[in-house]
Chain A
Amino acid sequence: MELILAIGIGVLAGSGVFLLLRPRTFQVIVGLSLISYAVNLFIFSMGRIRLNAAPVLNPAANDPALYTDPVPQALVLTAIVIGFAMTALFLVVLLASRGFTGTDHVDGRER
């Protein structure tokens, strides 16, 4: 399972990096989104993955060993929110750039 997840993270990150380096703004925004999936999963994986051990407590049986590590999850949540905000911002900036320059090239001019 760890291997599969790791490969998945790697592919998401790799595809994202490839897109990040492309000349069109749309490619970059898709790349950034893929990277953010990868990063979120990466952070998540730092807590070691566990099946069926959600961090919702059962007040009756409060043994920390029964639950997953909540810290990475909290971090991922913050990262998701910030990632969402940044995607929105980048989208609008790329639209504005396209509007001003007439092109969707990342440099604002065709090369």
Chain B
Amino acid sequence: MSQIILFWSVLACEAILALAMACAAYRLARGPRAQDRVLSLDAFYVSGMLLLVTFGIRTGTTLYFEAALIIGTLGFVSTLALAKFLMRGEVIE
């Protein structure tokens, strides 16, 4: 029973998070301004990270944790670079 509950909830969770990614992707493509795209990329990454965590639960291993951890720790660097690029026209001065 608990297995069935878990199975379906995890599956649903995955689908929901994937949908969240889809929403972010919509804004990613739609824009209209660069800042909107950068913002949605951030959301996209976070949703992706959560999806990885969920996937870890589904497979019952912690092997996939590093990927999530790296998104959490370092994923912001590219978004940060994009933001700075918008502000200054240059990433490193």
Contact = CB atoms under 8 A, between A and B. Distances in A.
Interface of A: 51-52, 54, 56
A51 B63 contact: no
B60 to A, nearest CB: 8
B61 interface: yes
Contacts of B58: 52
Contacts of B60: 52
B72 to A, nearest CB: 20
Interface residues of B, number: 5
Contacts of B2: none
Contacts of A54: 61, 63
Nearest to A54: B63
A94 to B, nearest CB: 17
Interface in B38-62: 58-61
A52 B56 CA distance: 9
A51 B63 CA distance: 13
* Central interface residue in A51, A52, A54, A56, by most chain B CB within 10 Å: A52
Q: Which 7 pairs show the lowest CB-CB distances between chains A and B?
A: A52-B59, A54-B63, A56-B63, A54-B61, A51-B59, A52-B61, A52-B60
A109 B63 CA distance: 50
Contacts of A56: 63
8 contacts: A51-B59, A52-B58, A52-B59, A52-B60, A52-B61, A54-B61, A54-B63, A56-B63
Nearest to A56: B63
B18 to A, nearest CB: 12
A53 B23 CA distance: 30
Contacts of A52: 58-61
Interface in B10-38: none
A52 B61 CA distance: 8
